[in-house]
């Protein structure tokens, strides 16, 4: 089985459509399963349109913290002021059917040989960030598949663990799994990348060849920014898109 995995769309329909156009192109060469790791909404100007596309295409999706926040399922007092403003705006535009859909999304999923969560393999409902190798070490103990795919930090990364439990970051965008080694892979963000590259990020994983690759695709950032400006969404959120920060 081959998977096309992406995360953190954040109401950015231009970025989502660019990624799904890439999915359609890649699908021409064989069956590809699309998977979304959550945060369909929050920050961006088109939360309803993004939900509609995911629903219409019947793409499996997990719930992210912003999806929960937008339907009042979690406390947003710890969100930064920009995220909070964007969540409140998102909440104000969602219709009942959107809320019902977001409500139905699971928080973790095992799909054949892969494990999927939005935040961390350990206690995914706490929405912690997996940023250090120390965090990774502990998180490898919370799943029993060879690989877990995560989103949440908006920074694509491959973390590798040897049998000896030593962990490190694989520095290239392509990787072939070794027997006995284990992996935590952050697929980056579709709608608000934060690794210095503003292009939408996604991953393709081939379960048979065990090859995984992080890919980037440009989208119409200027149009997304214009929509955000027209809606008076926070300037900080508008500017960060072009910097990928
Ligand atoms: Zn996110």
How does pLDDT run across 182-232, given as a tens digit for each residue?
999 999 999 999 999 999 999 999 999 999 999 999 999 999 999 999 999
pTM of the predicted structure, to 2 decimals: 0.97
**Is pLDDT above 90 for 131?**
no
**Is pLDDT above 90 for 75?**
no
Q: Identify the pLDDT of residue 64.
A: 97
Ligand 1 centroid, distance to 90 Cα (angstroms): 14
Q: When comparing pLDDT for 75 and 115, which is higher?
A: 115
Ligand 1 centroid, distance to 70 Cα (angstroms): 12
Distance between CA atoms of residues 158 and 238, nearest Å: 28
Residue 136 binned pLDDT confidence (cut-offs 50, 70, 90): very high
Region 143-172: mean pLDDT is 96
- pLDDT over 90, % of the chain: 94
Ligand 1 centroid, distance to 2 Cα (angstroms): 24
CATH superfamily of 2-243: Metallo-dependent phosphatases (3.60.21.10)
Worst-scoring range by mean pLDDT, 78-82, 114-118, 211-215, 228-232?
Answer: 78-82
Region 85-106: mean pLDDT is 96
Ligand 1 centroid, distance to 164 Cα (angstroms): 32
Q: Please, where are the H alpha helices in the chain?
A: 13-27, 47-56, 65-70, 81-93, 96-103, 133-139, 221-230, 235-243
Ligand 1 centroid, distance to 180 Cα (angstroms): 31
């Amino acid at each position: 089985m081959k998977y096309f995995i992406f995360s953190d769309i954040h109401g950015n329909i231009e970025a989502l459509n660019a990624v799904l156009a890439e999915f359609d192109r890649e699908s021409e060469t064989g069956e590809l399963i699309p998977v979304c790791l959550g945060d369909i909404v929050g920050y961006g100007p088109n939360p309803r349109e993004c939900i509609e596309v995911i629903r219409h295409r019947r793409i499996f999706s997990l719930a992210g913290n912003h999806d929960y926040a937008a339907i009042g399922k979690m406390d947003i007092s710890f969100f930064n002021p920009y995220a909070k403003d964007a969540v409140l705006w998102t909440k104000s535009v969602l219709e009942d059917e959107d809320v019902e859909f977001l409500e139905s999304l699971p928080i973790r999923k095992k799909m054949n040989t892969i494990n999927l969560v939005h935040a961390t393999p350990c206690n995914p409902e706490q929405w912690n960030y997996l940023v250090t190798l120390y965090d990774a070490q502990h998180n490898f103990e919370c799943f029993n598949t060879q690989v877990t795919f995560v989103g949440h930090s908006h920074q694509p990364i491959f973390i590798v663990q040897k049998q000896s439990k030593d962990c490190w970051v694989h520095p290239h965008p392509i990787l072939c799994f070794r027997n006995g080694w284990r992996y935590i892979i952050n697929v980056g963000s579709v709608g608000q990348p934060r690794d210095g590259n503003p292009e939408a990020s996604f991953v393709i994983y081939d379960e048979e060849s065990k090859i995984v690759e992080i890919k980037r695709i440009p989208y119409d950032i200027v149009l997304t920014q214009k929509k955000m400006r027209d809606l008076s969404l926070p300037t900080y959120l508008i500017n960060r898109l072009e910097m990928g920060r």
